Amino acid sequence: MSKPIVGVIGSGYSVEGRYQTQMTGESNMRALAQVVDALPLIFAGAPDITDIDALLDSVSGVLLTGARANVHPTRFGVEPDETYEPYDEHRDDVALAVSRACVERGVPLFGICRGMQEMNVAFGGSLHPEIRDLPGRMNHRAPRLDNGEMHPDPEIIFADRHDVHLIADGKFARLLGQQTIRVNSLHGQGVLEPGERVVIEGSADDSTVEAISIAGAETFALGVQWHAEYDPQTNPVNQALFKEFGKAIRG
């Protein structure tokens, strides 16, 4: 029995500083395979080898994943600062164009963490390179040990850390049947100004944007700042999002 194919964007990664590869987290692919019952296929975040029209002719939906690199500041009119590296400009080229093309062509689009930020920038929005530096904001980055190293326990890293308040009668509130949810938090960069068609669907207590939709999209075009791919097999909020994406890719 055939399954719908979902394109999963890759990120550039250098092995041993010599071998350029494309990679994505396995949890993204497991979420699609196990919850959506789709076939996940990685496509390159590299414009010279990714034909976007051919890609969208071949898939039923697109997942823009999280990634280590930040969206390059010049994409939203800000001078780059080495403090906020690394960047992945090739992925920027592909992800921003794919975001716009998916909405234009009615291809379901799901953005997670960096993927949500890419959707915002694609429609003219801006980002702050370190959201915790803004007055009154919490540290949204992953938990670390006292010595500064990343905490070794994934269950602690991906534990739910703060509430998200959803707008009344918005797409997320209707889908999830509630206006307050609790999510994980593993990001530095965040939405500063929303893009022209970007609807802020949910925010944390400190006003950090956590959920967006694209106004006028014919189908699923949602983004979340948290890592919904981590546990949709068991987490009812994240499961509902992936299942709704699954409905959309089946038309």
Query: Alpha helix locations (H) across the chain?
Result: 26-31, 52-58, 89-105, 114-122, 154-157, 171-176, 236-249
Contact 27, 230 (CB under 8 A): yes
User: Which domain does 113 fall in, by range?
Assistant: 5-249
Contact 8, 65 (CB under 8 A): yes
- pLDDT, residue 149, reads 81
Q: pTM to 2 decimals?
A: 0.95
- pLDDT, residue 58, reads 97
Nearest to 241 by CA among 230, 228, 251, 225: 228
* Proportion of the chain above pLDDT 90, given as a percent: 77
- pLDDT, residue 82, reads 83
- pLDDT, residue 158, reads 81
- pLDDT, residue 1, reads 65
10-residue averages of pLDDT along the chain (251 residues): 93 90 96 98 97 98 95 92 88 98 98 98 94 84 79 82 96 97 92 97 96 98 98 98 98 88
CATH label of the domain that carries residue 158: 3.40.50.880
- pLDDT, residue 26, reads 97
pLDDT digit string (tens) for 92-108? 999 999 999 999 999 99
Number of domains in the chain: 1
